[in-house]
């Protein structure tokens, strides 16, 4: 996946001279995850810039650059280090189009490696998507496959609106059969995809939890469950249609994500599914999420992260008897 | 109201000229010296206190050994990661030595060694990096704030704590540590400003080790030195050789003394060098050459002091050997402590989120307990 992200930025920069990449350590080092590797060499330090260490400054400067016609792609080094930039994000990035009656859109892509499962020390594993999806004016997307890493990042950079691009860091090293010579065309921002067809219930998920859900769906066959798995790909906008169609087919739904459950994206999704599918549902919409706790230290994270067993236990509860 | 009627809109509306601007005249000299302050190898070394220097030497050698042991533990997989302070030991040790028991240390994620030199148990200091809990000690007990991973965010805390102590009439100084990269964060600037406005008893110690991960100082700031940053906030800035423990000790002691006496904050820039990579996960060859690292080897903090003290007859071979043996003992204890498998209780996930458990967390705890019991039976 890392390679696909690099390639997406490279292609975007080659095609459009207004695309600029910036952030901490993105130049010479190529980023701490090496996602910007080689960009400074190919396009020069003015287009792939090591900034001073200041997230509010980075995003604030990106606002000004976008106001003047550039397309900044900003890297936040880790989920929890994006927080100093929230003032800029919420007060300006998300609101500029609206404040200016459409006169000043901000085509900024904010790349944030997020989520746990890599044994990182504290402040390196937050699932921060709930903060972003609660802020009107931002698109929030997250790839779970190598094709999407490329396709969604290209779409984000091309978007005239600000996009928070959440990179599931534990999937950076996932290798799939992806040929960079011919990047596959994938649907852009706002479209969910059925990753596995099934008939007995729908798992609705995104980002780092997609592979876990696919594994759970395989395991569930033994129990006689044929699970459908929907990958949202984009949290804002939310593809209600794909989700609703799936749940109407299967009659049961479980939302799975790593972020805490209370006020997490799953709460919104469960509410929408209930509103739209009430007469089709055989059971309440259930959720499998991280606990409502600060992200734990590495030695405990396996107990916190939603895994296959927790998903299967929840699926079993869909055998609802009134 | 039209625009013209708005107060202050247009100079012609001013009935009286603005009052004359008067700069502060009562302030101590703020500008740092152009060269880092040095003691070792200069005439100033004539007045070294042999007792203090022997202590500094012993701590430096222990510090170096501690760094080596912690790095070895990462190679054995006992620590997830360790940000080494090899080359920076003089800063770490001096910061710990100048504080009184009631004072507070606010370390950054790199400053485990300063915490250990202040007396923290080495194993407790490393739990964050081992992964059993974020902060493995009680900050109040040791007066050491949690090692701060988000950069510069601990600096306003240091200001607030020092301010609170003064409001309560307590004799407490806070010493806050930050890297060169961290000085670019908004929190750094806000902390300096608050400290100066409140005349809080705080000492800011910037360890300028040349790099913020891969980014060299020249891309971090256009200021002549980081110590210059003090001036705009109205506090003295001091530039010191961070590899010279005698100079570090003197400058920090002076700053702590002034803070204690009500003289307000000081910003100290210690010029040093990070001899190893950012962490064991970093590849330093991508952003710097060997020649630079080699040049700094000749200015090693342990060697500098050892040479000075040997030349002055303050330590000899026997004393050096005794210090090394002591460091070996410390390293062996650390190894042993870290090789014991930590016992972690999964139910701890819920134990410290709120003072009183919420229903929701109680439910989640019950769910995890059931899962664990099912696993046990399987
Ligand atoms: C707010 C914030 N942004 C980014 C990071 C990621 N990060 C960790 S260490 C580091 C470099 C720090 O450099 P410096 O302040 O010079 O301290 P040093 O590592 O040299 O001790 C960065 C960018 C972080 N920890 N916190």
- Per-residue pLDDT tens over the stretch B157-179: 999 999 999 999 999 999 999 99
- The span from the CA of A284 to the CA of A148, in Å, is 31
Query: pLDDT value at position A163?
Result: 98
Q: Give the E-state strand segments of chain B in sequence order.
A: 104-106, 174-179, 202-208, 211-212, 215-216, 237-241, 266-271
pLDDT digits (tens, 9 = 90+) for A97-152: 999 999 999 999 999 999 999 999 999 999 999 999 999 999 999 999 999 999 99
pTM, to two decimals: 0.94
pLDDT digits (tens, 9 = 90+) for A74-88: 999 999 999 999 999
Indicate whether B182 pLDDT > 80. yes
- The two three-digit tokens of residue B232, written as one number: 């705009």
Indicate whether B184 pLDDT > 70. yes
- The span from the CA of A213 to the CA of A203, in Å, is 7
Query: pLDDT value at position A180?
Result: 60
B342 near A CB under 8 A: yes
Q: What is the mean pLDDT of residues B205-210?
A: 98
To the nearest 10°, report the CA torsion of B24, B29, B35, B39.
-160
- The span from the CA of B67 to the CA of B84, in Å, is 6
Q: For residue B108, what are the β-bridge partners?
A: B148
pLDDT digits (tens, 9 = 90+) for B66-80: 999 999 999 999 998
Cβ atoms of A98 and A145 closer than 8 Å = no
Q: Decide if A300 and B349 are in contact by the 8 Å CB cutoff.
A: yes
- Tell me the torsion sign for CA atoms B228, B229, B231, B236: negative
- The span from the CA of A216 to the CA of A223, in Å, is 11
Indicate whether B20 pLDDT > 80. no
Indicate whether B10 pLDDT > 90. no
- The two three-digit tokens of residue B197, written as one number: 């406005």
Separation in Å, CA of A193 to nearest CA in chain B: 31
Separation in Å, CA of A234 to nearest CA in chain B: 28
Which residues of chain A have a Cβ shorter than 8 Å from any chain B Cβ?
24-25, 27-30, 32, 50, 52-57, 80-81, 83-84, 119-124, 262, 291-294, 296-300, 303-304, 309-310, 313
Indicate whether A254 pLDDT > 70. yes
Kindly list the catalytic residues of B: 274, 278, 287
Lining ligand 1 with CB less than 6 A are A 24, 53, 77, 81, 84; B 110, 149-151, 179-182, 209, 211-213, 274, 278
- The span from the CA of B238 to the CA of B37, in Å, is 8
Indicate whether B15 pLDDT > 50. yes
Indicate whether A30 pLDDT > 90. yes
Q: Decide if B353 and A292 are in contact by the 8 Å CB cutoff.
A: yes
Contacts of B123 (CB under 8 A, 6+ apart): B136, B334, B337, B338
Query: pLDDT value at position B7?
Result: 47
Q: What is the DSSP string of A29-58?
A: S--TT-TTTTHHHHH-TTTEEE--S-HHHH
Q: What is the ipTM of this complex?
A: 0.94
Contacts of B206 (CB under 8 A, 6+ apart): B177, B178, B179, B180, B182, B183, B226, B227, B267, B268, B269, B270
B209 near A CB under 8 A: no
3 state SS of B210: coil
B351 near A CB under 8 A: no
Closest alpha carbon to A204 in A172, A166, A174, A234: A234
Residue nearest to atom 12 of ligand 1 (CA): B212
Q: What is the DSSP string of B151-193?
A: TTTHHHHHHHHHHHHHHTT----EEEEEETGGGGSHHHHHHHH
3 state SS of B4: helix
Residue that has been written with the tokens 């799939």 in this structure? A176
According to DSSP, residue A93 is labeled I
Which residue in A41, A82, A297 has the most chain B C-beta atoms within 10 A of its own C-beta, making it the best mutation to test that interface?
A297
- The span from the CA of A194 to the CA of A163, in Å, is 23
Contacts of A225 (CB under 8 A, 6+ apart): A198, A200, A201, A315
Q: What is the mean pLDDT of residues B133-149?
A: 96
Query: pLDDT value at position B281?
Result: 85
> Residue A196 phi/psi, 5° resolution?
-150, 125
CB pairs under 8 A between A and B: 113
- The span from the CA of B27 to the CA of B30, in Å, is 8
Q: Decide if A291 and B221 are in contact by the 8 Å CB cutoff.
A: no
Closest alpha carbon to A26 in A43, A48, A3, A58: A48
Higher pLDDT, A176 or B332: B332
Separation in Å, CA of A281 to nearest CA in chain B: 25
Chain A residue closest to B342 (CA)? A299
Q: For residue B206, what are the β-bridge partners?
A: B178, B269
Cβ atoms of A264 and A257 closer than 8 Å = yes
Gap from CA of B12 to ligand 1 centroid (Å): 50
Cβ atoms of A183 and A214 closer than 8 Å = no
Query: pLDDT value at position B29?
Result: 76
Which residue in B136, B219, B340, B350 has the most chain A C-beta atoms within 10 A of its own C-beta, making it the best mutation to test that interface?
B219
Cα dist. A172→A104, A113, A117, A266, B8 in Å? 34, 9, 12, 24, 56
Cα dist. B11→B2, B20, B371 in Å? 16, 16, 73
**Burial (CB count within 10 angstroms: exposed 0-12, middle 13-18, buried 19+), residue A177:** exposed
Q: What is the DSSP string of B266-311?
A: EEEEEE----S-SSTT--GGGT--HHHHHHHHTT-HHHHHHHHHHH
Candidate from B219, B221, B360 with C-beta closest to A292: B360
Separation in Å, CA of A199 to nearest CA in chain B: 28
- The span from the CA of B176 to the CA of B134, in Å, is 19
């Amino acid at each position: 996946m890392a390679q696909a992200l690099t390639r997406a930025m490279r292609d975007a920069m080659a095609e459009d001279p207004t695309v600029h990449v910036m952030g901490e350590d993105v130049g010479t080092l190529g980023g701490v995850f090496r996602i910007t590797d080689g960009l400074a060499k190919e396009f020069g330090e003015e287009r792939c810039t090591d900034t001073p260490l200041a997230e509010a400054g980075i995003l604030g400067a990106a606002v000004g650059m976008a106001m003047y016609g550039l397309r900044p792609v900003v890297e936040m080094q880790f989920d929890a280090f994006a927080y100093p930039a929230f003032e800029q994000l919420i007060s300006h990035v998300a609101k500029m189009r609206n404040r200016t009656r459409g006169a000043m859109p901000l085509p900024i892509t904010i790349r944030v490696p997020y989520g746990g499962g890599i044994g990182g020390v504290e402040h390196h594993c937050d699932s921060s998507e709930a903060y972003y999806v609660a802020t009107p004016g931002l698109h929030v997307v997250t790839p779970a496959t190598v094709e999407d890493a490329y396709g969604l990042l290209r779409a984000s950079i091309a978007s005239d609106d600000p996009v928070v691009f959440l990179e599931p860091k534990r999937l950076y090293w996932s290798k799939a059969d992806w040929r960079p010579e011919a990047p596959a065309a994938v649907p852009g921002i706002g479209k969910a995809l059925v990753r596995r067809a099934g008939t007995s219930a729908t798992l609705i998920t995104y980002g780092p939890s997609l592979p876990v859900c696919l594994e759970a769906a395989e395991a569930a066959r033994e129990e006689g469950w044929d699970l459908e798995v929907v990958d949202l790909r984009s949290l804002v906008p939310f593809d209600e249609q794909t989700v609703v169609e799936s749940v109407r087919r299967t009659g049961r739904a479980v939302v799975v994500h790593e972020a805490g459950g209370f006020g997490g994206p799953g709460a919104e999704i469960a509410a929408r599914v209930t509103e739209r599918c009430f007469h089709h549902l055989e059971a309440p919409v259930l959720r499998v999420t991280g606990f409502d706790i600060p992200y734990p230290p590495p030695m405990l994270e396996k107990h916190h992260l939603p895994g296959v067993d927790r998903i299967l236990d929840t699926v079993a509860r869909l055998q609802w008897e009134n | 109201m039209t625009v013209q009627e708005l107060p202050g809109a247009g100079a012609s509306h001013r009935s009286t000229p603005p009052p004359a601007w008067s700069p502060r005249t009562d302030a101590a000299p703020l500008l740092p010296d152009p060269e880092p302050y040095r003691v070792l190898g200069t005439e100033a070394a004539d007045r070294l206190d042999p007792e203090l220097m022997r202590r500094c030497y012993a701590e430096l050698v222990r510090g170096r050994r501690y760094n080596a042991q912690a790095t070895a533990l990462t190679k054995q997989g006992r620590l997830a990661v360790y940000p080494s302070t090899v080359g920076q030991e003089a800063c770490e040790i001096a910061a710990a030595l100048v504080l009184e028991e009631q004072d507070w240390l606010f370390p950054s994620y790199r400053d485990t060694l300063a915490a250990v030199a202040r007396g923290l148990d080495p194993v407790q200091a490393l739990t964050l990096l081992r992964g059993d809990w974020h902060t493995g000690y009680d900050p109040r007990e040791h007066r050491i704030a949690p090692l701060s991973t988000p950069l510069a965010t601990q600096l306003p805390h240091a200001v607030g704590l020092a301010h609170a102590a003064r409001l309560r009439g307590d004799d407490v100084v806070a010493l806050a540590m930050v890297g060169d990269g961290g000085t670019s964060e908004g929190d750094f600037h806000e902390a300096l400003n608050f400290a100066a406005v409140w005349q809080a008893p705080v000492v800011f110690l910037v360890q300028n080790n040349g790099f913020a991960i891969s980014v060299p100082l020249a891309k971090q700031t256009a200021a002549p030195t980081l110590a210059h940053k003090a001036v705009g906030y109205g506090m003295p800035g001091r530039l010191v050789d961070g590899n010279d423990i005698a100079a570090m000790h003197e400058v920090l002691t002076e700053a702590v003394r002034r803070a204690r006496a009500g003289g307000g904050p000081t910003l100290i820039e210690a010029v040093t060098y990070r001899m190893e990579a950012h962490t064991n996960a970093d590849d330093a060859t991508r952003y710097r050459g060997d020649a630079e690292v080699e040049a700094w080897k000749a200015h090693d903090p342990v060697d500098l002091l050892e040479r000075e003290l040997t030349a002055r007859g303050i330590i000899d071979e026997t004393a050096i050997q005794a210090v090394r043996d002591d460091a070996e003992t410390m390293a062996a204890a650390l190894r042993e402590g870290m090789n014991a498998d930590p016992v972690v209780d999964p139910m701890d996930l819920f134990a410290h989120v709120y003072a009183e458990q919420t229903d929701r967390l109680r439910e989640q705890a019950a769910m995890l307990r059931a899962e664990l019991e099912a696993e046990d039976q399987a």
